[in-house]
Structure 1
Amino acid sequence: MNKTTAVYPGSFDPLTIGHEDIVRRSLRIVDRLIVAVAETATQSKSGLFSIDERVDLIREVFADEPRVEATSFSGLLVDFAQGREARVIIRGLRAVSDFEYEFQMALMNRSLWPEVEVLFMAPATRHTFLSSSLVREVGRLGGDVTDFVSPGVKTRMDRAFGRTAGE
C-alpha cells in the first residue's frame, strides 16, 4: 500500500493555532505531512523569525506527532514536492479573498507537474480571521496573542519583542 505524503507550504511567521488546526486535520487524510517553510516569500512581509527559528518552532509544536516533518525549501514548490515524493499540496483558505490567488497557484503548479493534487482546506470557524501577519502585528504592538499561538510560540514571540512572559 502506498503511503500518501503531502506538503503544507507557507511562511509560518509565526505558526498560529490556525496552522496547527490545518496540520492536525490533514493527518486524517494523509500518512505523512511535510510542513515546509518557504525561504523566498511570495509576498512582501516583514519577518519576525528566521527560517531556522520557524522550522524549530514547528518541530517543537508537533513533537508529539511523528508523521509531521518540518523543513525549509527554496525554489519551486512543485520541484520540492516532487523531490520528496509528495503528490499532494495542502493549502488553507481563510476567506474568499484567498481563493483567487490560491486557485491561480494551484493551476500553475498543476501545469508544471500534472500529477500533483492541491487540497484546499477551510480552517475551523474559530480560526478564520487568523493570519500570521495579524498575529505578528498584535504581538508587536503589545497585544496578548495567547489565544492565537501555542505557548512555546508565544514565549518566543515575547522574547523577540523584548518582553518577558506575563508582561
Structure 2
Amino acid sequence: MKKVALFPGSFDPFTKGHADIVKRGLKLFDEIIIGIGTNSAKKRYFSLEMMTDKIRETFKDNEHIKIISYDDLTANAAHQHGANFLLRGLRNTTDFEYENTISQVNRHLVGELETVFLITSPELAPISSTIVRELHKYGAKVDDYLPYDLEEN
C-alpha cells in the first residue's frame, strides 16, 4: 500500500521549519500532500494564492509532493485525498499537548488515520509562522526564516 501523508496547516507563512518536516517526511512516505487549511479562528496575513504559489515553487522539482487547499476538517481532507497518515512537526512540549489532542479526535473521525510526529530540527525550533508574521508586519527582514524569496511578489 502506498504511504501518503497529509501535512496540514494554515502555513501563514510556510517556514523553513515546515519545509524541513516535509523533506524529512519524504524518507517515511511515498507522497506528501501539503494541505493549506482554512482556520476559522484566524484571518490570513499572506494570501492563500500567494502561499500556494510559494510552496509550489519551493518543491517544484519534487514529484512526490502535492499542494492542496481545503476548507473542511483535516481528517476529512486526508480521507478525500487518499492520505492514510497525518504528518505534524513538534517544536516543544506545548506543541505536543495541542497536537496529541487533535490526533485523537482525527483518529476518532477516520479510524485508519494515523498521525506521525517529527521533532523539529533544533536550529529551526525557534521559528514560528506567528513570529515571522509579526516581524514582517513591522518591516523586519524575514528571508532567513523562509525557504523562498518573499519579496518576489
Normalised to the residue count of structure 1, the TM-score between the two structures is 0.86
Secondary structure of the residue aligned to 1:34 is: strand
Letter paired with 1:123: T
1:140 matched to 2:137: yes
Letter paired with 2:33: I
Letter paired with 2:35: A
Secondary structure of the residue aligned to 1:70 is: strand
Please point out which of 56, 78, 88 is paired with 1:81. 78
By how many angstroms is 1:85 displaced?
1.3
Structure 1 residues 45 and 79: alpha-carbon distance in aligned structure 2, compared to 1, 3 A threshold: closer
1:48 maps to what in 2? 45
2:126 maps to what in 1? 129
Count, aligned residues: 153
By how many angstroms is 1:45 displaced?
3.5
Overall identity of the aligned pairs, in %: 35
Aligned-partner Cα distance in 1 for 2:12–2:128: 9
Gaps (5+ residues) in structure 1?
Answer: 160-167
Larger Rg: 1
Secondary structure of the residue aligned to 1:147 is: helix
Letter paired with 2:3: T
Secondary structure of the residue aligned to 2:145 is: coil
Normalised to the residue count of structure 2, the TM-score between the two structures is 0.94
By how many angstroms is 1:55 displaced?
1.4
1:165 maps to what in 2? none
Gaps (5+ residues) in structure 2?
Answer: none
Higher RCO (C-alpha under 8 Å, 6+ residues apart): 2
1:60 maps to what in 2? 57
Aligned-partner Cα distance in 2 for 1:21–1:67: 15
2:151 maps to what in 1? 155
Letter paired with 1:23: V
Aligned-partner Cα distance in 1 for 2:61–2:45: 25
Q: Deviations over 1:24-45 (max 9, x none)?
A: 0000100000000002x16x44
